[in-house]
Chains A and B, each alone.
Chain A
């Protein structure tokens, strides 16, 4: 078994990347991701990790360097946040379109303006259609475990799609938590290096990222989409294998006190643990409420999500991003879309809160649940409710 240590989550993530024995790291430091790449740079400089650390001049270059190293067959890692992820945006499509395996840690941060470096899901939502697998983590242990799983997922021959591991900026990236770091030997066994079937090599010439005229582009995109549709089964297998080896099991949709609950609160990321405390308190007070949280955001686990919605009357969705001028929260609108054709579906109340690092406390969660149940019964007519905004 691994060793239980008290460690900052960013440092633990960097150590997990070291355990995965990466070959190339190309990254540009940006708050709140800085500690991750700083620690990796130290590990490489001190000779503890035999990898190439490429200090690039921007995130656009970081992702471009990662494309090259992944195409050459190297195990590749990068990390970014907020504006940095947006600067990478166009290259993200290239990475997924070229089916290049790589892992990126995203310390979620708000997008300017006004300038904010604090936690928010706006950056993750802005890149949700880029063809990357997106996993949202809740605590430090999960960050470490999912980072290790991410390398196995991305390199699986049925997947070959890049993976983002999301951790909330500051709320998760900068906290010190007790984490069980897996043994190097176990990680080595779990993560044998799977070379991509198609890599650049002088003896086997191949052209990657070619020009596709209208006559083949649709077919190429459909081939990529088929891979994405198959991803969930592979992820489930890998999570099961992880559970066998390390004893911690993960599911795409996780339920907390959902049995018989008429009202469910829906969250993603580090808010879920605070929300659990609020659910506990309200359950004690006799309110029939549970918590559902999504770990796998792309591909969206439709089956598991719909199964969890059986018998639920009210769903209160908390978004940490705004779909400006649209239906309110991007997560809530996808959930509405996922349930629209169902015969029995819950009433959905969309909340937006926790923007730009604003804390949502246990008390605030209790208010969200109480207000949400009332709004679902009466209906405010608004598309969404803003949590804790001063009028």
Chain B
């Protein structure tokens, strides 16, 4: 499917709406219904990667300085990383908070 999704007609749909080309759901931004987001205090971070291991969304990446940080396009704000972090680097803050 060379066309973008919103230009596909019913004739372009493969039989049974199957997908015959490689791809993933990475294009879908699943973080937009989040009500809380993780806030980091990297001065206490050990770079242990426990938050990376426990993130059920697989949205945590290492930034350029080597700290683990959530990609907010995909983070759903569940707070598991904050709960698991041994040194309390992560605090969950309401989305409205600055």
| Interface positions of A (Cβ within 8 A of B) | 97-100, 160, 197-198, 205-213, 215-216, 219-220, 222-224, 226
> Could you tell me the distance in whole angstroms from the C-beta of B57 to the nearest C-beta in chain A?
16
Q: A211-B25, A213-B5 are in contact. Are A220 and B17 (CB under 8 A)?
A: yes
Q: In whole angstroms, how far apart are the Cα atoms of A99 and B10 in the complex?
A: 15
How far, in Å, is B7 (CB) from chain A's closest CB? Answer: 10
Inter-chain contacts of A212 with B (CB < 8 A)? 17
Judging by beta carbons under 8 Å apart, are B8 and A198 in contact?
A: no
Contact-size category for B? 10 to 19
Given A215-B6, A219-B10, A223-B11: A208 and B25 within 8 A (CB)?
no
Measured CB to CB, the residues of B under 8 A from A are: 5-6, 8-20, 22, 25, 28
Among residues of B, the one whose C-beta sits closest to the C-beta of A157 is B15
Q: Count contacts between A and B, CB distance < 8 Å.
A: 58
Q: Known A98-B16, A207-B18, A210-B19; judge A222-B10 contact (CB<8 A).
A: yes
- Tell me the bound Cα distance from A216 to B8 in angstroms: 7
Query: When chains A and B are docked, how far (Å) is the Cα of A206 from the Cα of B20?
Result: 5
Q: Which residues of A contact B13 (CB under 8 A)?
A: 216, 219-220, 223
Give min CB distance, A7 to chain B, whole Å. 37
Compute how far the CA of A181 lies from the CA of B20 in the bound complex, rounded to whole angstroms: 42
Kindly provide the distance from the CB of A289 to the nearest chain B CB, expressed in whole angstroms. 45
The interface residues of chain B lying within 8 Å CB-to-CB of A99 are: 15-16
8 contacts between A and B (CB under 8 A): A97-B17, A198-B20, A205-B22, A212-B17, A213-B28, A216-B13, A219-B12, A220-B13
Measured CB to CB, the closest approach of chain A to B74, in angstroms, equals 15
- Most chain A C-beta atoms within 10 Å of own C-beta, residue among B13, B17, B20: B17
Contacts of A222 in B (CB 8 A): 10
> Are B10 and A198 touching (Cβ within 8 A)?
no
